[in-house]
Amino acid sequence: MDGQRERDEADIILPGPSREPRRWFTHGGHAPLPAPVRVSWLRRPRSGRPGGPAPVSSAGEPSRGEAPVVIDGSRGEGGGQILRTALTLSLLTGRAFRMTKIRANRDKPGLRPQHLKAVEAAALLGGEASGAEVGSRELVFRPRPYEPRDLKLDIGTAGSAALVLQTLHLPLAMRAETAVRVVITGGTFNPKAPAFPFLEETWRAHLSRLGLSVALAMPAAGFYPRGGGRLEAWIEPGRPAARALPDRGRLRRIRGVAGVCNLGEGIAARMRDRALQQLEDSGLNSDIEIDAVRWPGPGQGAAVAIWAEHEDAAPATFVGLGERGKPAEAVADEAVEDLLGFEAVEPAAVDPHSADQVLLPLALAEGPSSYSVSVVTEHLRTNAATVRLFLDREIAIDEPDDPGLPARVTIR
């Protein structure tokens, strides 16, 4: 059986495309993928203001003589998000970029392994990168025409597999003719990065509402410092559709998991019981259910993920992450506090962790879009600034004076 699994997996290893077309089906509970929406300005030459979308031929070939986008990697949020967004947009628009001062204000400046893996994956799809090494503070990326293909990547550390996947998702989905499988080994529960429960419940739901279909699996959980988690994604062809996301409706229920990997079940039970008690004490009028689970994986770790489900909105996910010396109760408190902060801002449709991630596909959709968000983060502002460098889109973020009211993001 193991030998058969190895032979099956060998069929998807880089660099060649799938040997025959395959198609995967979405998980239950998500809408089926509609017919692709044609994005004309990504397919036909068009002039625009400096920094707007690069003219791209029907084959996606970069235009000759187009000046590269110059990006200051220390601006705004100043992290790896600027690089990941630039890689995504460079592949889709055919526009080269040069990034300086990469993560200049961080404790460990320059490219880290998970950022380098995103660059390598983008180059493998279609591009050339200079300065692509751990610690590098300057990078030049030049895209080339590419054909979406199955990918198997190993970050080599506990770096976030989710962030690498999100870099590749839109370039694969928007150019693929058949479903593409991506397998990434690394961290699936990381501080300051989307954890797998967020991807599965929230990111997928947002994409589904925009006409993009992704199925996910986590055969192994990866925690710091061991890593070794496995994230699998099946990406269906599609193009994002413009949407006006309405304000969320009433809270229907709260679900969650308190999970451990190679730790005692008592830790999971303590996290679950604490989260349940804190939620019940908060006075939220909804059904509440949190399960204690065990995740397979090579290392040790613990996490709590809680989903708030509202009418007319994607589920919002809030995660507390364990670490050495951190009580199980503190892990649960972290997730509950984040959820209660979101619930206090009515009637925001999008949680702060999703706001910058929803922005990119909506900016690539043809036509105006809008959505409300509970909190405007520096990640959202930075992503908007990066998108403006590549696309001829007007992005307005209107923040109210009252912190109890949502902000509005408009894309024209």
| Residues belonging to the active site | 379
CB 139 within 8 A of CB 98: yes
143 forms beta bridges with: 127
3-state secondary structure the chain: CHHHHHHHHHCCCCCCCCCCCCCCCCCCCCCCCCCCCCCHHHCCCCCCCCCCCCCECCCCCECCCCCCEEEECCCCCCCHHHHHHHHHHHHHHCCCEEEECCCCCCCCCCCCHHHHHHHHHHHHHHEEEECCCCCCCCEEEEECCCCCCCEEEECCCCCEHHHHHHHHHHHHHCCCCCCEEEEEEEECCCCCCCCHHHHHHHHHHHHHHCCCCEEEEEEECCECCCECEEEEEEECCCCCCCCECCCCCCEEEEEEEEEEECCCHHHHHHHHHHHHHHHHHCCCCCEEEEEEEECCCCCCEEEEEEEEEECCCCCEEEEEECCCCCCHHHHHHHHHHHHHHHHCCCCCCECHHHHHHHHHHHHHCCCCEEEEECCCCHHHHHHHHHHHHHCCCCEEEECCCCCCCCEEEEEC
253 forms beta bridges with: 287, 309
- The rounded distance, in Å, linking the Cα atoms of 409 and 397 is 5
CA distances in angstroms from 136 to 99, 126, 154, listed in the order given: 11, 21, 20
